[in-house]
Amino acid sequence: MNAVHASEPVPSVESRLRAVPPHALVATAQRLLAEETGALETTLFLADYGLRVLQPVTHLPHTGEPVPAHDGPAGSAFITQSPVVEVIPDPTVHVVHLPITVRGDRLGVLSVRLPAAAADPVTVLRLGDFATALGHEVVTAGRDTDLYLLARRTRRLTLAAEMQWQLLPGRGCARDEYVIGAHLEPAYAIGGDNFDWSTGADHLTLTVTDGMGQGVDASLLTSLAVGALRNARRAGISLADQACLADQAIFAHYGGKVYASTLLLHFDLTTGVVHAVDAGSPILYLLRDGTIRQVDLEAQLPLGMFEETPYEEQTFRVEPGDRLVAVSTGVHNTRSALGDLFGEHALRQVLSATRHTSPHETARAVVSALWEHFGGRDLMADAAVVCLDWSGRGARSAVQDPRTAG
């Protein structure tokens, strides 16, 4: 009697990518796309730390020629977060540029050179799914290889900047209820500024921290502050108590000689109620219905300035369609070479002009305005910008629940 063997299941793209060594993702992507779509060439571009260029992942220590992150076909795919089909002089070939984004964090672009006949909408859609799968694997592979981190650099990071970028959760985060875009400058020499977030089933916690000082000293201070805040947050205690424990940790180590200014926000994803602790200098703006106003929070002492400082929470509410923008001291106190303050008026102009762009692009636009005001890209002070667009759950639930109709 002959045995009957079931046919072997075809491995998924994700499983085939997971099966290769971390450094082999690009070569594997090239091979898989050649098999599946007839791709002639595949290039993975990663956004550099300054979000100025997209750099191809090639042989290190040198990478290939970068392309602009905000111009051209690849830059357009990165900015719009939509596929771009580039028609090149060779009529038999098209190049499809696909954004690579992982849970709202924009990583770069996958560019695939295809026979023109293969660049149909169905194939482009499949390529988009492939780019997302590849992005997830790049993030995971980053735990085990320096390849993708090195490919993001146009020059060497300072030690302080190395520490800060490793401390960050990413540069963006997205769910149905909100979208976050954030940026730090000077990207290759950042010292004390930081942002952090954590999302749960029904909440979002967001912090913006400005550690006193410069260089490694500022980075060490901020690392302690963020570590203490995370430790307290993961203990499940209130926002005010998180600030208290972080304050105690910093004072115990530094004795009040240095401190960390921090804005702590805790969002209820269902109600839009925000609990806030303003422990220092980061400023929060609210954009709603065409108006811009600073959120009025009680200024409390920075973390670590005095021993056992008590902190109190305040509350306000965000509504669907609201935008919140938090900026550190390095934004609202930056001065030009002539001593002119960047100031609230200039900041409001940028926020108004970028109201309908993505949070990522708004954060970048604020930094670009700082460069222009300062007269160069090497800012003297650290600058952090975090932009959050709020959708919430209430409006969506009302549409989906027929009992609310009429």
Q: Is 125 exposed, middle or buried (0-12, 13-18, 19+ CB in 10 A)?
A: exposed
The closest of 303, 275, 104 to 192, measured between CA atoms, is 303
Under DSSP, is residue 202 helix (H, G, I), strand (E, B) or coil?
A: coil
The tokens 């950042």 sit on which residue? Answer: 190
Peptide bond into 99 cis (omega under 30): no
φ, ψ of residue 145 to 5 degrees: the values are: -145, 150
Cα distance from N-terminal residue to C-terminal residue, the chain? 70
* Gap between the Cα atoms of 227 and 392, Å rounded: 28
Task: Indicate the burial class of 244 (C-beta count within 10 angstroms; 0-12, 13-18, 19 or more).
Answer: buried
**For residues 106 and 364, what is the distance between their CA atoms, to the nearest angstrom?**
13
pLDDT in tens, the chain (406 residues): 444 445 566 678 889 999 999 999 999 999 999 999 999 999 999 999 999 999 999 866 556 789 999 999 999 999 999 999 998 999 999 999 999 999 999 999 999 999 999 999 999 999 999 999 999 999 999 999 999 999 999 999 999 999 999 999 999 999 999 999 999 999 999 999 999 999 999 999 999 999 999 999 999 999 999 999 999 999 999 999 999 999 999 999 999 999 999 999 999 999 999 999 999 988 999 999 999 999 999 999 999 999 999 999 999 999 999 999 999 987 866 665 556 667 778 888 999 999 999 999 999 999 888 877 766 566 667 889 999 999 999 654 433 333 333 3
Task: Specify the amino acid at residue 307.
Answer: E
User: 321 near 288, Cβ under 8 Å?
Assistant: yes
> How far, in Å, CA of 124 to CA of 103, rounded?
20
Per-state percent for the chain, helix, strand, coil, to nearest 5: 35, 30, 35
